[in-house]
Structure 1
Amino acid sequence: MGNLKNALIALTVPLPSIAFYLTFLHHYSSSDVSSLNPFWVWCSNHPILLANLLFTINVDFLFWVIGLAQNTNWMIDLYWTVIPVMLVHYYASHPFAQFNVWRSRVVILLTWVWSIRLTHSYFRRENWHWGAREDWRFSDMRKQYGKQWWWISFFAVYVSQQIFLIGICLPMYAIHRSEKPLNVYDFVATVVCVAGIVFAYFADTQLQEFVVRNKKLKELGEPTVTTLDKGLWRYSRHPNYFGEQLWWWGLVIFGWSLGYGWTFVGSLINSLCLAYVTVLVEQRMLKQAHRAEDYRRYMKTTSVWIPWFKISSGGRKDKNA
């Protein structure tokens, strides 16, 4: 019953923003611009500010209230896979948009593929349940801040996500503000984006198989494998993070090639944040007594993000490892 309730909440929660935006488009298309309500004029002239306004009302406040009612902030994790799709269609359909049709179609298609990949990974990890748990970082902060968490969560969970999501999707705005013809950089950006999606998919799949295999071993009363160091994880301690970063920086190449180099700022902030998260994840691994020693060895011989050859105990590359 809880699974169905969470599914209904997740599917209906973006409807206010969608309804508002469709109303705005209707008024804009059916009225003379000179006779538009001043608010509709503002909406048409400030696409990024309007995106932030909708995010503040529909995500920051509404998701926050739902999170307080349910005592869990699970939904923002799921919507990381949805909001970029909504944003790319928003920028493409906004009255202020002007763009090369083929570049727009490529980026929209890539964003959908990225989203489907990440959504599948999310539900696979959660055993196909809606809202089974919240991100462990939020759970840790809940314990840390105690009774103050109810208001701190508004900023730590939701406002922070607004900064990240609006920021990393800025190249989508740039793509729909330029009619420049396709060029070699579009090809490079597309290759980087596809490589990121594929890399992250295989990394997440190998991690999921590792978790499932260990679960079966535990049920059989047999020793589990403490560290995943096979496949892509042989060459990188966080290949899933690396793949995700390739995707976002691939979008930056699109924006940069169109003269919107400043759109890199969102991906830079996201990468810096992910670097911090990487430290937290590894500290968490080292706190687990049964795997700490093995993971320390793994850290000494394996690259953090960028896939590379194993490092031998003598500090040299080991191409056969």
Structure 2
Amino acid sequence: MLLNLLVLNIFIMFCSWLLVTYNRRAGLVDVAWSFSIALNVMIAAWVMGTAPLMVRMFLGIASGIWFLRLTWHLLRRYVNETHEDTRYANMRRAMGGYQHLGFLAFFMFQAGLVALFSYPMLKLLSIPTQQWNDWTPYTVLVAAIIMALSLIGESTADQQLYRFKLNPQNKGKTLNRGLWKYSRHPNYFFEWLHWFAYPILGLAAGLYSLWIYPLLMWLFLYYITGIPFSEQQALAHRGDNYKDYQRRTPMFIPWPPKE
């Protein structure tokens, strides 16, 4: 089953790469990444799961909704963009005449990342029912609360930023209202918070290795793919306006801003 899911991920990424080859907008890879994880989890919960029904339903529904919502948000952003995302435009320039093969390798690498970040859910779904203890309903409840708070928080932050960017009068300005008043990256914070749901759920099955995932996601967001690029782009486009925002507003964990 895992091999079948990997083949599915590769197929989705390959089709996405074919489309990007013609429209030259590689941001589609983000949409394909999130959609692939949603499919992996929902298919596994329905077909290959040996975990208790409560766990299978929670992961299939809650994680499915989480990644489908993210897919919709990324797709909406992708459709509304008039130019290729700066990250991928820079990659395209760097690869020069080898950009088509370079992006093919990049999209296949993303298929591997789908497998990496689907692993917590797939691992939980594969644990036989008899290995889950009496604490399972309580860990499901705690995981559900974390998932709900994360979903509400990230959806709210994404929607606030989306509406702010729709107003042409806000060009060159920084959103400093709503959740963005308390964190420069509230969407990333709630994305990170969501990954605590899986190791907490795993406590009822004696699975402790999943605690690496909140750390792994924090490293990705804080040092690699998320915050560094966002901060760099914000400074390049908004200059002193964003520097003032940086001085007053916490970078990651929401907290009251400085006066």
- Cα separation, 1, equivalents of 2:163 and 2:190: 18
Q: Which has the higher contact order (CA 8 A, sep 6+)?
A: 2
Verify: 1:118 aligned to 2:70, yes or no. yes
Aligned to 1:197: 151
Verify: 1:169 aligned to 2:103, yes or no. no
For the 8 Å contact 1:77–1:135, the answer to whether it is kept is no
- Cα separation, 2, equivalents of 1:133 and 1:256: 45
- Cα separation, 1, equivalents of 2:89 and 2:137: 46
Summarize deviations over 1:223-278 as a string: whole Å, max 9, x none. Answer: x5611111100110000111112223323322354233333445543332222231
Aligned to 2:34: 81
- Cα separation, 1, equivalents of 2:115 and 2:65: 19
2:197 counterpart (250, 260, 283): 250
- Cα separation, 2, equivalents of 1:233 and 1:266: 25
Q: CA deviation at 1:80?
A: 3.1
1:309 counterpart (240, 256, 259): 256
Aligned to 2:182: 235
- Cα separation, 2, equivalents of 1:187 and 1:139: 43
Aligned to 1:103: 55
**TM-score scaled by structure 2?**
0.84
Q: CA deviation at 1:161?
A: 1.8
- Cα separation, 1, equivalents of 2:195 and 2:214: 6
Matched residue type, 2:33: W
Aligned to 2:100: 150
Matched residue type, 1:310: P
**TM-score scaled by structure 1?**
0.70
Matched residue type, 2:246: M
SS of aligned partner of 1:143: helix
Aligned to 1:296: 243
For the 8 Å contact 2:183–2:254, the answer to whether it is kept is yes
2:17 counterpart (46, 53, 64): 64
Aligned residues: 252
Q: CA deviation at 1:74?
A: 4.0
Larger radius of gyration: 1
Change (3 A) 1:310 1:264: same
- Cα separation, 2, equivalents of 1:282 and 1:295: 9
SS of aligned partner of 1:183: helix
Pairwise CA RMSD: 2.6
Runs of 4+ with deviation above 6 angstroms: none
Matched residue type, 2:32: Y
Q: CA deviation at 1:200?
A: 0.5
Matched residue type, 1:175: L
Summarize deviations over 1:191-241 as a string: whole Å, max 9, x none. Answer: 11111111001101110121122x1x27xxxxx561111110011000011
Identity level (%): 25
Change (3 A) 1:292 1:50: same
Q: CA deviation at 1:145?
A: 2.0
SS of aligned partner of 2:176: coil
- Cα separation, 2, equivalents of 1:260 and 1:155: 33
Aligned to 1:41: none
Change (3 A) 1:263 1:174: same
For the 8 Å contact 2:42–2:61, the answer to whether it is kept is no
- Cα separation, 2, equivalents of 1:133 and 1:225: 17
- Cα separation, 2, equivalents of 1:137 and 1:250: 30
Unaligned runs of 5+ residues in structure 2 are none
Change (3 A) 1:103 1:134: farther
For the 8 Å contact 2:235–2:242, the answer to whether it is kept is yes
Change (3 A) 1:73 1:55: same
- Cα separation, 2, equivalents of 1:52 and 1:256: 27
For the 8 Å contact 1:236–1:305, the answer to whether it is kept is yes
